[in-house]
Chain A
Amino acid sequence: MRVGSQPKLRGPGLATLAGLFALWPSLASAQAATEYVPSTSENVAFYLLAAVTLAMGLSVVLRRNPLHGALSLVVSFFSLAGIYVLLYAHLLATLQVLVYAGAIMVLFTFVIMLLNLQDRELGEARGPVAKSVAVGVMTFLAVWVIMTAQSAVVGNFLTEPTRTPTAGALPATYGGVAGVGGALFRDYLLPFELVSVLLLVAIVGAVAVAKKRI
């Protein structure tokens, strides 16, 4: 790994999107050689985006009308894309907006509007509150325990709250098209080819399932 300056944003598309989030001068300053300390503005941005993500996620699950849930999910994906940019995952942030929010959620919205359920057909929003709270608490504890079990590898984040992302400088191509593309087409070529076969299978399968007569 090289000790270098901040990785530059690549490509006009990435620059436009990331520029919307990366307005603060802290992202343009040079990194320390050993540990990356997020600035106050990055922390503020993270907490804001995290709050939006969680609020919209709850809205997806709790709203009665699935169309409202779909739109909340779109907002949640946008705020997640912002968090990805804070993590220097510029390509994934762009893909999140283009593919997840821009294609998958559009597909969801089309299907929801196609089904066109009336208000009386929508049914009850959810079951008993106690059951959902119990399930939520149990799941969160399970996930939390699994994450703290990783503490041998990444450090126990419960007792080391100041440990910040990455000790050391990132490669200059980290998270951009060159870095992820290079890894995708060299080290991970087989999964890439298999995913393209999977997408073909999914297309054929979706058409076959939805047709009235095969």
Chain B
Amino acid sequence: MTPGNLLTLAALLFTIGIVGVIIRRNALVILMSVELMLNAANLTLLTFSRMRGDDGGHVLAFMVIAVAASEAAVGLAIVIHVFRHFRNINVDDVGDLKH
């Protein structure tokens, strides 16, 4: 349980999240991959906070959770609206703003 192991775990989680955002076409899965990335950031914050013995990292992680909640709420509201209009949440098919 060295800091290296924890940071490597966070890096791997972040990588998995980014791969999910890039290769998946379902808008809901993309949003879930973003949550995965935010959790990787939280883990990094808590690891460094533990190494410094300082509570500030916990406060920032708390803010990250709050921001993730609001972003998930608004993002899901948008997905619902898009689905209502297009009957499809494949991000490749809802590119009406292009051209």
- Give A contacts to B, CB under 8 Å: 1, 38, 42-43, 46, 50, 53-54, 57-58, 60-61, 66, 69-70, 73, 76-77, 80, 83-84, 86-89, 91-92, 95-96, 99-100, 103-104, 107-108, 111-112, 114-115, 117, 121-127, 131-132, 135-136, 139-140, 143-144, 147, 154, 157-158, 160-166, 168-171, 174-175, 179-180, 182-184, 187-188, 191-192, 195, 198-199, 201-203, 205-207, 209-210, 212
Q: Is the interface of B mostly helix, strand, loop or mixed?
A: helix
How far does the Cβ of A65 sit from chain B's closest Cβ, in whole Å? 9
In the complex, what residues of A have CB within 8 A of residue B43's CB?
80, 83-84
Cα distance, A100 to B35, chains bound together (Å): 9
> Is B9 positioned at the interface, with any CB of A under 8 Å from its CB?
yes
Q: Is the CB of A107 within 8 A of B74?
A: no
A209 and B18 alpha carbons, distance in the complex (Å): 26
B32 and A108 contacting across the interface, CB-CB below 8 Å: yes
**CB nearest to B57 among chain A residues:** A89
The reply to whether B53 and A69 form a contact with Cβ atoms under 8 Å apart is: no
Cross-chain contact A199 with B29 (CB below 8 angstroms): no
Which chain A residue shows the least CB distance to B31?
A108
Given contacts A43-B1, A87-B46, contact A115 B83 (CB under 8 A): yes
Assembled-state Cα–Cα distance A38/B23 (Å) = 38
Chain B residues contacting A168 (CB-CB under 8 Å) are 53
Q: How far is the CB of B65 from chain A (nearest CB, A)?
A: 5
Q: From DSSP, what is the main secondary structure of chain A's interface residues?
A: helix
Which residues in B have some Cβ–Cβ distance to A below 8 Å? 1-9, 11-20, 22-26, 28-29, 31-33, 35-36, 39, 42-43, 46-53, 55-56, 58-59, 61-63, 65-74, 76-81, 83-84, 88-90
Tell whether, in the assembled complex, residue B28 and residue A143 are in contact, meaning their CB atoms are under 8 Å apart: no
Q: Which residues of B contact A69 (CB under 8 A)?
A: 28-29, 32
- Check A198–B2 contact: CB distance below 8 A: no
CA distance A75 to B27 in the complex (A): 21
Asked if A198 meets B3 with Cβ closer than 8 Å, knowing A60-B32, A89-B50, A111-B28, the reply is no
**Can you give 28 contacting A-B residue pairs, CB < 8 Å?**
A38-B1, A54-B12, A61-B24, A66-B26, A80-B43, A87-B47, A89-B61, A92-B61, A95-B62, A95-B65, A107-B72, A123-B25, A127-B23, A135-B22, A136-B18, A139-B18, A140-B12, A144-B8, A154-B3, A154-B51, A165-B3, A166-B51, A170-B50, A171-B53, A180-B62, A184-B59, A207-B77, A210-B77
| Among candidates A73, A135, A164, residue contacting B3 with C-beta atoms closer than 8 Å | A164
- Interchain CB contact under 8 A, A123 and B58: no
Count chain B CB atoms within 10 A of each CB in A38, A60, A121, A184 and give the residue with the most: A60
Tell whether, in the assembled complex, residue B26 and residue A108 are in contact, meaning their CB atoms are under 8 Å apart.
no
